[in-house]
Amino acid sequence: MCLRPGVVGQRSSVWYTANCQIGRQLVSDRAQTIANYIHALSLGQTEPLPTLFRTCGVTFPFGDEVVTQAMEFIRVQLAETMRDHQDTLKAPPSRADHEHKGHNNDFIPS
């Protein structure tokens, strides 16, 4: 669930900050957040961006507190993801591992 950037392939700090606010809302009230988002999408390009953001429950313009909260949300989500998937996030093999197994080590940096 995310706001689409104005130009395909480009993401701005505004886009990321808005998405963090929506992500925080999804955690606390998923149904209402989705309803707000769908309503904002239904408005399309008929309203200015600040109105679309308000419709989604996104604070705009972004002050220091909003950006700080967005950064904290990312930090917490990343920490939870790392914790939940630590068994699949293994370090790449070392040179010693490859030498022990008889692999060609030309591709492994020193």
Peptide bond into 93 cis (omega under 30): no
Instruction: Label residue 37 by pLDDT band (50, 70, 90).
Output: very high
What tokens does 97 get?
A: 């591992």
List, for residues 48-96, the tens digit of each pLDDT value.
988 999 999 998 888 889 889 888 998 998 898 888 877 776 666 666 6
pLDDT of residue 11: 65
pLDDT of residue 32: 95
Q: Within its chain, how far is the Cα of 38 from the centroid?
A: 19
Cα gap 56→41, rounded to integer Å? 9
- Identify the helix (H) or strand (E) that includes residue 104: none
Average pLDDT of the chain to the nearest whole number: 79
- For the residues 19-46, what does the mean pLDDT come to? 92
The answer to whether residue 64 sits within a structural domain is yes
The answer to whether residue 7 sits within a structural domain is no
The answer to whether residue 74 sits within a structural domain is yes
Cα gap 44→47, rounded to integer Å? 7
Host domain of residue 68: 13-100
The answer to whether residue 84 sits within a structural domain is yes
CB 12 within 8 A of CB 49: no
pLDDT of residue 62: 84
The answer to whether residue 72 sits within a structural domain is yes
Cα gap 80→98, rounded to integer Å? 32
CB 78 within 8 A of CB 85: no
Task: Please count the structural domains in the chain.
Answer: 1
